[in-house]
Structure 1
Amino acid sequence: MMSVFSVVVTGQSLITRDVRQARDDRFDEVLRFLQQGDVAFTNFESTVLGRHGGWPTKGKYFGYSRPDVLDALKVIGFNALALSNNHAFDLGPSGVLSTLDEVKAQGFLYAGIGADMTEAAEVGHRRLGDRDVALLALDAGPGPANMYAGNRTAFRPARPGVNALKTVRKIGVPIGQMQALRALARELQMSDLERANYAQPEDPPEIDDKSEIDLYGTIFKQAETCGRLVEVDLQSASEHLAAIRESAALGDFVIAYLHHHHWEPNWQQVPSWVQGFARMCVDAGAGLFVSHGAPVLQAIEIYRRAPIFYGLGNFLFHTEPDESEWSPPEVWQSVVAACRYEGDDLVAIDLLPIVINGQVRVDGHETASGLVPLAATGDTARHILEQLAERSRPFGVEVAIADGFGRIVPRD
């Protein structure tokens, strides 16, 4: 008899409060849906203040969590965590080390950070259900160089940090504007040393002098039209793809995870470089690709019968009161997706629409808004699923909607 295996994936979990006391029937529905999976996966979008201490490395968007939030994630039903994201370094190397201590103690399948670059790049392995599951977790920035893990050399110690998929952001400009920028650079009399000063703590970027210019840390590249260009470092990509191939060759079910903040002006739009990298991961042997970063739902694609979730938005989203950027309603709506396999064959993806800013009971009498996700109902549920269907249709995916749920069946 062919084995049945399921992987449930959610939006990112930016969790700073213990949610175990939340009570609501619609939250219970989310938990039942989540806990049906052999694998229940999210991105832990935070860092732990634990025995290693730490200090703030950011201004407004700084955040951290106490160890008990990991207890909460485990009680909710999660058993697999990506740790590679822009908040993983908010307490510096100390937070990375404390987070590692806590996720190891809880027995999660995890990947994405480490005490040095070698450890951060390791693929996590764990037996879940009837499958050996492997997890590779990456962050593509943008972020300062010192948040990414580094190995010890003869001249510097190891640096705990995040596993990087190296990328470079460039600004494409037509030839006329490029000539004007070159003239401006000459007028400013920028020296190589001055360029280096503005690149710190990064090293000065390498540029093609014929088609590019580095203007105070921003690389402009001659192009047909104006626009942002994100380029994946091929050496960095090849190393991560080799890790996927190695795990897949062992028969593992491989989850490839990418976090990034190279959002398009329309947050719902999938960046072309992300689609290219996702497909490379599947070609290398990943059975599932998941991405977070933009705080909204993006398209779903099925490529070579492997689900690609380009952006699952949020699942837990504990923001600070002064953060006014998150007012669009799409930020507070998402889905939980259950991917069902028979053997290695994807047979269906079931979708539960959720809202994240609803009110729940806490300790029997208080109400809290935005503490936990709730199953969406009625017109809201249909709207979430219809929007997801509209975004996914250009990728060849049809979402069937019935009774407040969505379902995707792969095409033969």
Structure 2
Amino acid sequence: MNNQFCAVVTGQSLITHDIRHVQDERFTEVERFLQQGDVVFTNFESTILGKHGGWPTKGKYFGYSSAEVLDALQDIGFNALALANNHAFDLGAGGILSTLEEVARRGFLHAGIGTDETCARKPGRQRLGGREVALLAFDAGPGPASMYAEDRTAFRPARPGVNRLKTVRKIGVPDGHLRRLARLGEHLRCSAFELTNYAQPEDPLEITAGKEINFYGTVFTQAADYGRLIEIDPQSADAQLSAIRQAAAQGDFVIAYLHHHHWEPRWQDVPRWVRTFARTCIDAGASLFVSHGAPVLQAMEIYNGAPIFYGLGNFLFQVHPDETEWDPPEVWQSIVAACRYDAGKSLAEIDLLPVTIGTEPHSPGSPTGRLVPLTASGGTAHEILEGFARRSRAFGVDIDISLARGRIEVPAARKFG
């Protein structure tokens, strides 16, 4: 089959060390799989310490990288980077400016941060593999307002930062419990002025009187049952979708990227709001939707002929050894997906390569340990693919598994919804 276009997508790349010295045939196999793509995409889950300097804006989960890691990503095959994520602002505005300069200097297709909101929201656009490719990247939090880009107004200077898809988390509780919370607030003599003080440096959240309560920064809302509710701000969503429509109207191959940390209690489950938003992006004209955040492999869907990867987990995950919360094996397992399109620009098939980030007996603190992804084999490969297939089956996707690889053949009828 003579494929006209191939888009390869991976898990997120939290990379803080140069990996070009690693010699392992299993890593070389991963590189070869990447390099078949016309567009090879990941989320750069870090920020660059460069000439603009910066300062730590976080506690435990703070991190940054030197510019050489971008050379490493380019060397193994990546040419497209999402930059919108919770680590992009770890060095403040200085890190945003340095990252923008270093990524642009190397010619990456990129999107998701900017010198102000207009710049951060602007799609990246580049000709790759004979097609114009547009990339839009946005972060849905949770995160402080100060990490997100803002345009200049008559009263405020512009702020460099991340492209924000504005969301609000609310906790749904039955009416009786909501009334008890209201009484507790009365006993504590909670006032609007006190909520404003505790919200600093931000403003208190808006609530619907009679149905919602701001209980010291957490919004509880009346619901039939208990649950976490994520609401997307309609104006924020419209701005992102408008950019997708404009890129699609030009005939571009449009990649829509979402980063978020609104995880479900079982972190391999796909949040309902993400599924709704992903489909809305495809309806607006996106050719491919990719999401990261939860550090585990979730599921995929093919909707109106376009692949949706709800959570690809990790590709590079160079976290501090003391962060033991990442010990579960599913954190260190993922897939790389090669999406192939035919001459008519329709999705024809997807090849899946299971990978593990390092392998036993290496430990996170060893010299090569968990620095790079390696091709999985045997029982581990089967386990990764079977888990991904099982979760994706619930979204109507059938995956054929053979010889430690997965494949999805897209029937002609599926290409048109």
TM-score, length basis structure 1: 0.97
For the aligned residue pairs, the C-alpha RMSD in angstroms reads 1.4
Measured against aligned partners, the alpha-carbon deviations of 1:376-407 in whole angstroms (never above 9, x if no partner) come to 01111111000000000010001100111000
SS of the residue 1:340 aligns to: strand
Deviation at 1:172, TM superposition (A): 0.5
Work out whether 1:206 is the aligned partner of 2:206: yes
The answer for the alignment partner of 1:54 in structure 2 is 54
The answer for the alignment partner of 1:347 in structure 2 is 348
SS of the residue 2:347 aligns to: strand
The answer for the alignment partner of 1:293 in structure 2 is 293
The answer for the alignment partner of 1:18 in structure 2 is 18
Work out whether 1:139 is the aligned partner of 2:139: yes
The percent identity for this pair of structures is 66
Q: Structure 1 residues 326-335 or 197-206, which shifts more?
A: 197-206
Work out whether 1:174 is the aligned partner of 2:202: no
Deviation at 1:187, TM superposition (A): 1.4
Counterpart residue identity of residue 204, structure 2: P
Counterpart residue identity of residue 226, structure 2: C
Measured against aligned partners, the alpha-carbon deviations of 1:64-103 in whole angstroms (never above 9, x if no partner) come to 0000000000001000000000000000010000000100
In 2, distance between residues paired with 1:10 and 1:95?
Answer: 24
Deviation at 1:3, TM superposition (A): 6.5
In 1, distance between residues paired with 2:56 and 2:109?
Answer: 27
In 2, distance between residues paired with 1:352 and 1:162?
Answer: 31
In 1, distance between residues paired with 2:168 and 2:207?
Answer: 11
Deviation at 1:262, TM superposition (A): 0.2
In 2, distance between residues paired with 1:99 and 1:298?
Answer: 29
Measured against aligned partners, the alpha-carbon deviations of 1:110-161 in whole angstroms (never above 9, x if no partner) come to 0000000010000110000110000000000000010000111111111100
In 2, distance between residues paired with 1:214 and 1:333?
Answer: 39
In 1, distance between residues paired with 2:339 and 2:360?
Answer: 29
Measured against aligned partners, the alpha-carbon deviations of 1:18-71 in whole angstroms (never above 9, x if no partner) come to 000000000000000000000000000000000000000001000000000000
In 2, distance between residues paired with 1:52 and 1:367?
Answer: 30
Work out whether 1:386 is the aligned partner of 2:386: yes
SS of the residue 2:341 aligns to: strand
5+ long unaligned stretches in structure 1: none
Distance 1:65 1:237, change over 3 A: same
In 2, distance between residues paired with 1:244 and 1:3?
Answer: 25
Matches within 5 A, 1:13-412: 13-342=13-342, 343-358=344-359, 367-411=367-411, 412=413
TM-score, length basis structure 2: 0.96
Is contact 1:360-1:368 (8 Å) kept? Answer: no
Distance 1:387 1:302, change over 3 A: same
Is contact 2:11-2:334 (8 Å) kept? Answer: yes
In 1, distance between residues paired with 2:360 and 2:115?
Answer: 39
In 2, distance between residues paired with 1:71 and 1:283?
Answer: 35
Q: Structure 1 residues 183-192 or 133-142, which shifts more?
A: 183-192
Counterpart residue identity of residue 106, structure 1: R
SS of the residue 1:179 aligns to: helix
Deviation at 1:186, TM superposition (A): 1.3
Is contact 1:256-1:290 (8 Å) kept? Answer: yes
Counterpart residue identity of residue 251, structure 1: G
Deviation at 1:410, TM superposition (A): 2.1
Measured against aligned partners, the alpha-carbon deviations of 1:297-354 in whole angstroms (never above 9, x if no partner) come to 0111000010000000000000101101001100000000000001320000100000
In 2, distance between residues paired with 1:256 and 1:201?
Answer: 31
Is contact 2:3-2:340 (8 Å) kept? Answer: no
Displacement over 2 Å in runs of 4+: 357-361
SS of the residue 2:394 aligns to: helix
Is contact 1:357-1:371 (8 Å) kept? Answer: yes
Counterpart residue identity of residue 180, structure 1: R
5+ long unaligned stretches in structure 2: none
In 1, distance between residues paired with 2:259 and 2:378?
Answer: 32
Deviation at 1:190, TM superposition (A): 1.7
Counterpart residue identity of residue 202, structure 2: E
Is contact 1:359-1:368 (8 Å) kept? Answer: no
In 2, distance between residues paired with 1:171 and 1:128?
Answer: 44
In 2, distance between residues paired with 1:367 and 1:91?
Answer: 26
SS of the residue 2:70 aligns to: helix
Is contact 1:109-1:125 (8 Å) kept? Answer: yes
In 2, distance between residues paired with 1:177 and 1:141?
Answer: 27
Is contact 2:38-2:129 (8 Å) kept? Answer: yes
Deviation at 1:188, TM superposition (A): 1.6
Deviation at 1:2, TM superposition (A): 8.4
Deviation at 1:191, TM superposition (A): 1.7
Q: Structure 1 residues 73-82 or 2-11, which shifts more?
A: 2-11
Deviation at 1:201, TM superposition (A): 2.1
SS of the residue 1:336 aligns to: strand
